[in-house]
């Protein structure tokens, strides 16, 4: 009897090459998750000053140590290369990489869309995943949808906690209702040292009254420190421009005007300052108004 081999099984046995763009706190955390996986292999990464490539798999501990001590993956020996256009240079060398996690700061607000455009122009094909936050930034990527599809790129946006996991929880809870009246997402984030998440904190500062993306982007580290000293390290955020609204609207859950997002970020302690939760209020199929938390 002839043994038939399923070609899909053969492909699935090979580790899928993947990369990370951006190597701050989020990028390093992603690398730590990716590196031990058997089904995928972390082979490329880039930061602002350089990139590293190893088809046999990058060593996550050496990569993080090099970045933290020397400021760039470009100094990683022998895999690193210093570059003033690290993202473009890395994409050129990544035609065999199947997917990227874009752990990049979306500063300015058009940055992530411009990176997606680079992938399109170079002719790369594969899967791109991001964890960006702002509604307007996600809308830019939605506008690129037809170009991404034509280029052979699958783009998955809003894959953080919010938008992301909590958005999915809201969509799941919404199935209990005939009509959703309100989705309220409240998050708590604790960071032991803001320095490891500089870009993320700047993006959060941009949501504070009196600030926007450009003012937050232009702040020096000393100015950020001064602001955090003034607030005892706490950032209280309300009515944020978060893409949970447009994602839930596109999914047919409810209009974006019914979605609110806010939370508290503690930049000096790893413990969450409050419990993260999602509240969904709506009219049930029995005609009653109720709230799920």
Secondary structure (3-state) at 263:
strand
In a domain, 191, yes or no: yes
Q: Which of 137, 156, 175 is the last residue of a domain?
A: 156
In a domain, 285, yes or no: yes
* pTM for the full predicted model: 0.88
Domain that holds residue 91: 7-156
| C-alpha closest to that of 112 among 101, 123, 122 | 101
* 182 and 287 together in one domain: yes
Measured over the CA atoms of residue 176, residue 179, residue 181 and residue 185, the dihedral's sign is: positive
In a domain, 1, yes or no: no
pLDDT at 78 (0 to 100): 96
In a domain, 2, yes or no: no
* 64 and 150 together in one domain: yes
* 182 and 234 together in one domain: yes
* 186 and 231 together in one domain: yes
In a domain, 45, yes or no: yes
Among residues 49, 79, 133, 242, which one is catalytic?
133
* 114 and 213 together in one domain: no
Cβ-contact 20, 40 below 8 angstroms: no
Domain count, the chain: 2
The strand order across the sheet containing 277-284 reads 234-237, 259-266, 177-190, 277-284, 289-292
In a domain, 220, yes or no: yes
Cβ-contact 25, 203 below 8 angstroms: no
pLDDT at 200 (0 to 100): 87
Q: State how far the Cα of 181 lies from the Cα of 280, in Å rounded to an integer.
A: 8
Active site residue 288: no
Cβ-contact 163, 247 below 8 angstroms: yes
Among residues 32, 203, 242, 269, which one is catalytic?
203
Q: State how far the Cα of 281 lies from the Cα of 288, in Å rounded to an integer.
A: 10
Active site residue 203: yes
Tokens of 244: 């949970």
Q: Which of 156, 182, 214 is the last residue of a domain?
A: 156
Q: State how far the Cα of 87 lies from the Cα of 73, in Å rounded to an integer.
A: 12
* 87 and 108 together in one domain: yes
Contacts of 15 (CB under 8 A, 6+ apart): 37, 38, 39, 40, 41, 57
Helix (H) / strand (E) containing 179? strand 177-190
* 248 and 229 together in one domain: yes
Q: State how far the Cα of 22 lies from the Cα of 103, in Å rounded to an integer.
A: 5
> Would you state the torsion angle of the CA atoms of residues 144, 146, 150, 155, taken in this order, to the nearest 10 degrees?
60
* 148 and 170 together in one domain: no
* 85 and 51 together in one domain: yes
Among residues 37, 207, 241, 269, which one is catalytic?
207
Q: What is the CATH classification number for the domain harbouring 70?
A: 3.40.50.720
* 139 and 262 together in one domain: no
Active site residue 230: no
In a domain, 65, yes or no: yes
State pLDDT tens for residues 108-123. 889 999 999 999 999 9
Tokens of 290: 């109720």
Q: State how far the Cα of 50 lies from the Cα of 63, in Å rounded to an integer.
A: 12
Residue 169: count other Cβ atoms within 10 Å of its Cβ.
18
Q: Which of 93, 126, 156 is the last residue of a domain?
A: 156
* 129 and 31 together in one domain: yes
In a domain, 282, yes or no: yes
* 281 and 203 together in one domain: yes
Per-residue pLDDT of the chain (293 residues; tens, 9 = 90+): 334 433 334 444 589 999 999 999 999 999 999 999 999 999 999 999 999 999 999 999 999 999 999 999 999 999 999 999 999 999 999 999 999 999 998 888 899 999 999 999 999 999 999 999 999 999 999 999 999 999 999 999 999 999 999 999 999 999 999 999 999 999 999 998 888 788 889 999 999 999 999 999 999 999 999 999 999 999 999 999 999 999 999 999 999 999 999 999 999 999 999 999 999 999 999 999 999 99
């Amino acid at each position: 009897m002839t043994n038939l081999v399923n070609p899909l099984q053969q492909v699935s046995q090979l580790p899928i090459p993947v990369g990370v763009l951006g190597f701050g706190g989020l990028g390093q955390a992603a690398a730590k998750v990716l590196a031990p996986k058997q089904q995928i292999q972390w082979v490329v990464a880039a930061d602002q000053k350089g990139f590293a490539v190893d088809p046999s798999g990058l060593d996550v501990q050496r990569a993080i140590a090099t970045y933290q001590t020397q400021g760039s993956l470009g100094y990683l020996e022998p895999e690193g290369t210093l570059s003033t256009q690290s993202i473009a240079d890395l994409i050129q060398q990544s035609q065999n990489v199947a997917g990227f996690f874009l752990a990049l700061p979306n500063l300015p607000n058009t940055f992530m869309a411009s990176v997606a455009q680079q992938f399109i122009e170079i002719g790369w094909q594969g899967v791109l995943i991001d964890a960006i936050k702002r509604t307007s930034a996600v809308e830019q990527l939605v506008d690129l949808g037809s170009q991404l599809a034509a280029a052979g790129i699958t783009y998955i946006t809003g894959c953080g906690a919010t938008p992301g996991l909590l958005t999915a929880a809201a969509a799941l809870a919404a199935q209990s209702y005939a009509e959703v009246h309100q989705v309220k997402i409240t998050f708590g984030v604790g960071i032991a040292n803001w320095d490891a998440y500089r870009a993320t904190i700047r993006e959060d500062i941009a949501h504070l009254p009196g600030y926007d993306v450009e003012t937050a982007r232009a702040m020096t580290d000393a100015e950020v420190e001064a602001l955090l000293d003034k607030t005892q390290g706490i950032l209280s955020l309300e009515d944020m421009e978060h893409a949970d609204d447009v994602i839930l609207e596109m999914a047919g859950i409810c209009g974006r005007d019914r979605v609110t997002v806010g939370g508290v970020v503690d930049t000096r302690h790893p413990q969450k300052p409050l419990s993260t939760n999602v509240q969904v209020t709506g009219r049930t199929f029995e005609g009653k108004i109720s709230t799920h938390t």
